[in-house]
Structure 1
Amino acid sequence: MSKVRELQQRRGWAWTVVVGIVKPTLLALTKRDWRHGEKVPATGGCVVVVNHISHLDPMTLGHFLYDHGRLVRYLTKDALFRTPVVRHVVRDAGQIPVRRQTEGAATAFAAAVDAVRAGECVGVYPEGSITKDPEGWPMRGKTGSARIALATGAPVVPIGQWGAQEVLPAYSARPHLFPRRTTHYLVGDPVDLSDLADQPLTPELLREGTDRIMAAITALVEELRGERAPAVRFDPRSSGINEIGNPHQQKREHG
């Protein structure tokens, strides 16, 4: 279990409310296996990149980072900013709206870059959605996290996670609360993108950076699971699956 750190940032009312509700709930309902949390920078701008396995894991990751002294700003689907009550919370908590698969994603990128340059911790799920790999492995990543990192020069901190999907399975609304499941987090060393810095952000360069990020995350997940990931990462597009949304629902609709 990695050693926790005290939060140095001002929380604001939204974070105070969320921490007051979510943290005690997670402490009561889950067990924790947290490793190398000290590798998350205590201060300064950084990009935290992590695999996505459940609708629960933004809360478990937020708990992990909070107990290691950081408030995370996620790139969050913009629908939450139109949801009653929730919209006030995500705005005050500094979350960043992103309109996936639209030109509006550029606005989210600019906001993320500004946040990192202001010394904040920005959390990115490079896959863009909960993994659609049949065995839950990290799938092919999108280039946003590499783009933010190369635009800011900030460290890219990879985190592998496993276990949240046992509490709340992917694309399910039915949690499995008992017996208590364990959420596993393992932090790796920053991804080295130094040789890609100060170069034109071509699609090839961004893909190289993204592949390094996904390789680092996948290696951490392999360590947590004690298994080897497939040699080729799952790609929804080449598999005929929409990149966002519930893949099981899509199969039923087209079945």
Structure 2
Amino acid sequence: MKEVPVVGRRSDVGVAFRFIAFVLRPFLMAVTRRNWRGGEHIPPPGTGVVIAGNHISHFDPLTFAHFMWDNGRATRYLAKESVFRIPIAGRIISAARQIPVYRESSDASQAYRAAVAAVRSGELVAIYPEGTISRDPGLWPMVGKTGAARVALETGCDVVPVAQWGANHVLAPYSKRLRLLPPKTVHVIAGPPVDLDDLRGRPVTSESLRVATDRIMSAITQQLAEIRGEVPPEVRFDHRAAGLPPTGDPATAPDAEDER
């Protein structure tokens, strides 16, 4: 399989992010095969953009960032705050300018403000609109939250939808068992920016955010269907309708047996 060339990167990525890339990229090159597509839709360094992707494994942030790095961009993630409290790793992640998310707290808006500021300064901000690993039984994208749409409509930046598949074969959802051998093929496909032009230049409302989010999730789902060669569910999975908490392994949720 032809490898994607590594193109120019911004000079202000920072030492911490370069260190992470230096350590992780050779490892990922060794333990995965890569089917990267759609890199032409990733804007050049210095252009603020939101990248919205599906979330299928605790391993996929690594392969997602690998795809972006190979297409010339460093990734700023919105990551749950607890990750930043991990000894050593948390300090490195913080130094790499990742954005902590304080779920269900009065500090939750800090992540939104930081994401807006990053986009306005020309950075690439990656957001998983689902907010957690998919709980859909087939790992299809769930109903999305409105954060990616909100950042895009406030800043005027593009939202590039990205679908990924294969990282879940390296590390299954909510599993701790890595399956590194034989190397698994990781598919990542970026699509053209989601058309939000008719929603721009007017007040941001709950309705416009929901319309924008539905378009983003539809684009991701269509791309994932292309990768998998399968037909997605007609209705996106909603944890509220399924009676599940917003995060965590659905198999260990209260009354999970009754919900299956």
Relative to structure 2, which stretch is displaced further, 95-104 or 156-165?
Answer: 95-104
- Residue identity opposite 1:118 in structure 2: S
- Measure, in 2, the Cα distance between the counterparts of 1:129 and 1:192: 25
- Kept in 2: contact 1:138–1:218 (CA 8 A): yes
Matched, 1:163 2:166: yes
- Measure, in 2, the Cα distance between the counterparts of 1:3 and 1:156: 24
Alignment of 1:11-160 (within 5 A): 11-43=13-45, 44-160=47-163
Could you say what secondary structure the match of 1:58 adopts? helix
- Kept in 1: contact 2:250–2:256 (CA 8 A): no
The aligned residue for residue 211 of structure 2 is: 208
Query: Which residues of structure 1 form unaligned runs of 5+?
Result: none
Residues 114-172 of structure 1: CA distance to partner in whole angstroms, max 9, x if unpaired? Answer: 00000000000000000000001000000000000000000100111100000000100
- Measure, in 2, the Cα distance between the counterparts of 1:162 and 1:187: 12
- Kept in 2: contact 1:74–1:123 (CA 8 A): yes
1:186 corresponds, among 183, 186, 189, to 189
Matched, 1:250 2:253: yes
Could you say what secondary structure the match of 1:21 adopts? helix
The aligned residue for residue 217 of structure 1 is: 220
* TM-score between the two structures when normalised by the length of structure 2: 0.94
Could you say what secondary structure the match of 2:78 adopts? strand
Number of residue pairs matched?
Answer: 255
In the TM superposition, what is the alpha-carbon distance from 1:175 to its structure 2 partner? 0.8
Alignment RMSD, CA only?
1.5
Relative to structure 2, which stretch is displaced further, 199-208 or 131-140?
Answer: 199-208
Relative to structure 2, which stretch is displaced further, 14-23 or 186-195?
Answer: 14-23
In the TM superposition, what is the alpha-carbon distance from 1:251 to its structure 2 partner? 5.0
Residues 45-68 of structure 1: CA distance to partner in whole angstroms, max 9, x if unpaired? Answer: 000000000001111011110111
The aligned residue for residue 10 of structure 2 is: 8
Residues 54-108 of structure 1: CA distance to partner in whole angstroms, max 9, x if unpaired? Answer: 0011110111101111001000100122222122111111100011222322111
- Residue identity opposite 1:81 in structure 2: F
- Measure, in 1, the Cα distance between the counterparts of 2:168 and 2:25: 18
- Measure, in 2, the Cα distance between the counterparts of 1:126 and 1:140: 8
- Measure, in 1, the Cα distance between the counterparts of 2:143 and 2:13: 34
- Kept in 2: contact 1:9–1:70 (CA 8 A): no
Q: Identity over the aligned pairs, expressed in percent?
A: 47
Change (3 A) 1:253 1:186: closer
In the TM superposition, what is the alpha-carbon distance from 1:254 to its structure 2 partner? 7.1
- Measure, in 2, the Cα distance between the counterparts of 1:208 and 1:4: 36
Query: Which residues of structure 2 form unaligned runs of 5+?
Result: none
- Kept in 1: contact 2:49–2:160 (CA 8 A): yes
* TM-score between the two structures when normalised by the length of structure 1: 0.96
In the TM superposition, what is the alpha-carbon distance from 1:248 to its structure 2 partner? 1.4
In the TM superposition, what is the alpha-carbon distance from 1:3 to its structure 2 partner? 4.9
In the TM superposition, what is the alpha-carbon distance from 1:36 to its structure 2 partner? 1.5
- Measure, in 2, the Cα distance between the counterparts of 1:230 and 1:4: 36
Change (3 A) 1:251 1:226: farther
